[in-house]
Structure 1
């Protein structure tokens, strides 16, 4: 979330420190369970594609213990209805002006005010969809890439413990290099 607004008014989950956990062999199963739950909730909006992405989807990779999922939507006009549908399940919509990524709509699942999952809604056919899958799949297939990413994440988590946005931005060059190979 953008740091341009008064952070003192943000919920606790919005300013959680960057903390990495060792790889958890349960993350893929947890991701699949959440994918199935979201598939049921989002089906009325025509959502049929949902993928577990991010570090928790890559076996053997340390990660913030937050499951990232991405779903393809037909258009942004469904977002208000999706937000109402997901709200009872502890999903919080992050407005695009705070997220600062106009190509997606972003939700944070935060029961008891702690992040447990992210949902990235992308428009059907958006090129970021394939990039997310390509990055995930290359790290799944290449232990050397996975280990290099783990080392980078550990350094950045120490450097940017109190700034999630800076942590994320600092990974961009590595991600671009993986996508260009």
Structure 2
């Protein structure tokens, strides 16, 4: 199961050696985004994240062309009223994983200022990060549009948007975990996974692998 809040946090996917990347290829990010890699800080929801997503989606769609079947704002920054780590999460649905790999080989996202950060324990996606390690601003998951990862990311977001009580419960959990694991993002992620699994099961989305987690 891939935890459906913030795509790049668990299992070391955004740790380790940094891929050389021309960060200057990306426009200056808004002040409302940015967090050091591996840390946890929650900030109140900001309406500026909607505009930031729209701008980034336009860049991705222009670069990927018709291969970008769907571009979705996911993770906590996509849910109005939910506190979030100030990193924009974007899910790009492509026809299949071969298309994702082809764009990785071409450097399509690198040309937009994204570093490839691997696949970790999520076999149906390629993961990219924008911004230097001291200030990550964007995460992008490129994954088959009809695959498990894309489906779970969107389903978890939609469930939180539709249920005020569920959203408040998740916000309380996030605040509690952030207060105790501020410098341990992997633990912060892992301890949210049971909540995420319950939500996905409640909306009829059951992952094939309940062991793997990627922070949402």
TM-score bucket (shorter structure): 0.7 to 0.9
SS state of the match for residue 23, structure 1?
coil
Q: Which residue of 2 aligns with 1:168?
A: 189
Residues 86-128 of structure 1, C-alpha deviations (whole Å, 9 max, x = no match): 21332111122xx222222111111584111110111231123
Q: How high is the TM-score relative to the length of structure 1?
A: 0.84
Count of paired positions: 175
Q: Which residue of 1 aligns with 2:112?
A: 89
CA deviation after TM superposition for structure 1 residue 10, in Å: 5.2
Query: Counterparts of 2:201 and 2:46 in 1: how far apart (Å)?
Result: 29
Residues 9-67 of structure 1, C-alpha deviations (whole Å, 9 max, x = no match): 558x77431111111111122112211111111116x2221100000000011100111
Q: Which has the higher contact order (CA 8 A, sep 6+)?
A: 2
Residues 145-170 of structure 1, C-alpha deviations (whole Å, 9 max, x = no match): 11111111111112222222222221
Q: Which residue of 2 aligns with 1:28?
A: 50
Q: How high is the TM-score relative to the length of structure 2?
A: 0.72
Q: Which residue of 2 aligns with 1:40?
A: 62
- Between structures 1 and 2, the one with greater helix share: 1
Q: Return structure 1 stretches of 4+ with deviation > 4 angstroms.
A: none
Residues 57-91 of structure 1, C-alpha deviations (whole Å, 9 max, x = no match): 00011100111110112333344553412213321
Q: Which residue of 1 aligns with 2:174?
A: 153
SS state of the match for residue 121, structure 1?
strand
SS state of the match for residue 149, structure 1?
helix
Q: Which residue of 1 aligns with 2:76?
A: 55
The root-mean-square deviation of aligned C-alpha atoms, in Å, is 2.4
Q: Which moved more, 1:156-165 or 1:65-74?
A: 156-165
Among candidates 130, 149, 160, match of residue 109 of structure 1: 130
